Structure 1
Amino acid sequence: MDEKSQSRDVYEAVADPTRRKILQMLANVEELPLYEITTHFEMGRTAVSKHLAILKDANLVIARKVGRETRYRLNAAPLREIQDWVSFYEGFWKERMVKLNLLLEEQNMKPDVSLDFQFTSSIEQVWNALTDSDTLAKWIWKNDFKPVVGHKFQFRAEPNEWWDGIVNSEVLVVDEPNLLSYTWESAGESTTVTWTLTKNSDGTTHLHFDQAGFSEETKARHGAIEGAKYSWMQMGEKLEKVLTEQ
């Protein structure tokens, strides 16, 4: 088996929750027989054996015969590649957070619009409403949003004689289900929108909204910031209605 196939097998092997549980069990002991592993699952020996065979093919477990009994032990070495892969993206996220912080510093850090919403829906439901394109269209506008850092997308509203109805955006941060941030560029104005989600002790959700980076010209324009605040308050009300209907 070549190196590429081996790597793929490792990722496929750990993708299944049953196999991850088996690896966790084997990590805490020197070795375990098949019958003892089976007692931890609501499935028969044959099904557990199939999972162990996949782990064995990926070189994540090593089997040895002791009489008629087969014993299994963990071989953690192949997991190093996954650790390296995860470590790379940890660095990636840290870099993105640094960029976001720098961007907010450039925009004087203090948000120009700041709002708080309370929803009875779970944090997972609110996160879905913020990141699912079809759901977003129900309370903001039509869009081609994807919760992927670096993804460029548009919100598209009905145009009028003063505005083309297009908001150009790029995803900056996706930290499910707690933080989402993207740029918001429209009508010559470039700002940053940030949603922060917090799960309350009773299972409800607190949603905090910030929009920062309005130009000094816009800030000086009478009613401009209040107009933006009012628009987001209306969208928040629509979001509450969408969540209630789910």
Structure 2
Amino acid sequence: MSEIAAIADPTRRRLIHLLAEAEEIPLHELTAQFKMGRTAVSKHLTILKEAGLVLDRKVGRETRFRLKASPLTEIQVWVASYNKFWSKGMLGLKLLLEDEEKMSETLISDFQFNTSIEKVWSALTDSNKLAKWVMENNFKPVVGHRFQFRTQPVEGWNGVIDCEVLILDEPNRLSYTWVSGGQNNTVTWTLQDLGNGKVNLHLEQSGITNEYVLENAKRGWAAMCGMLEKVLAE
């Protein structure tokens, strides 16, 4: 596979970005940066290695990887030859890698409740129950339905979150957009019946581009899921 084909995949571009920031990284540390298993990450690294972009070595039972940057210079020269065809807003390879990293922020949290999966699903999809633990809303469990969460405005924010239902798979999965304050995110809830009266509620809020927003989202959902526990107990 050519160097250009090897970096066409966003996962491999992120691997290059991670390797560029460190002299050498072991496989387990690279794997920890992705929502995929060790085998999948290894396959991507093998493709980069075959393209001459990555080197590896064994240290005991551990495999460590480092970037071989010289082939990227050839790509840069090739890209530069087409600059006249690009608009001023197009970014070079370095900015592309930085943006890929910046846009990859996803809040992931898990909450467990002693209740039934049906009760949790109802708390996620019933507008009146949502109002008790999230915000006032006009939610309807219909794919494509546009709705809003609304709360008291504060300085710099009107207190409105615009949403649209994307996925409705009762009682397993619910996803909707979450647009507010310049952020265009996607919130996805995944429910899993653990048996013995326990339910795991998995949250992913993807598309976060601001560290401040990420930290606030962590605290906010933790507090709201604390309220959810009280709603489920009613």
Q: TM-score, normalised by structure 2?
A: 0.55
User: What are the equivalent positions in structure 2 for 1:1-246 lying under 5 Å apart?
Assistant: 112-215=106-209, 218-219=210-211, 223-245=212-234
The size of the alignment, in residue pairs, is 135
Q: 1:125 to 1:110 in 2, by over 3 A?
A: farther
Would the aligned equivalents of 1:154 and 1:166 in 2 still touch at CA under 8 Å?
A: yes
Residue 154 of structure 2 aligns to a residue in which SS? Answer: coil
Higher helix share: 1
Give the conservation status (yes or no) of the 8 Å contact 2:103–2:208.
Answer: no
* Structure-2 separation of matches of 1:201 and 1:135: 24
Shift of 1:203: 2.7
Cα RMSD for the two superposed structures? 1.9
Q: In structure 2, what is the Cα distance between the partners aligned to 1:108 and 1:175?
A: 30
- Structure 1 residue runs of 5 or longer lacking an equivalent are 1-105
Tell me the distance in 1 between the aligned counterparts of 2:148 and 2:117: 25
Q: Distance in 2 between matches of 1:214 and 1:202?
A: 35
Q: Deviations over 1:49-95 (max 9, x none)?
A: xxxxxxxxxxxxxxxxxxxxxxxxxxxxxxxxxxxxxxxxxxxxxxx
Secondary structure of 1:213's partner?
strand
Larger radius of gyration: 1
In 1: Cα distance, 2:177 partner to 2:163 partner: 5
Larger strand percent: 2
Residue 121 of structure 1 and its aligned partner are, at CA, apart by 1.0
> 1:109: Cα distance to partner?
9.1
Does the aligned pair in 1 maintain the 2:193–2:199 contact within 8 Å? yes
Partner Cα separation in structure 1 for residue 225 and residue 101 of structure 2: 24
Q: State the AA in 2 paired with 1:233.
A: A
TM-score scaled to structure 1, two decimals?
0.52
The 3 A distance-change label for structure 1 pair 230 and 174 is same
Distance 1:133 1:158 in 2: 18
> Shift of residue 214 of structure 1?
1.4
Q: Deviations over 1:141-175 (max 9, x none)?
A: 00000111000000001111221000000000000
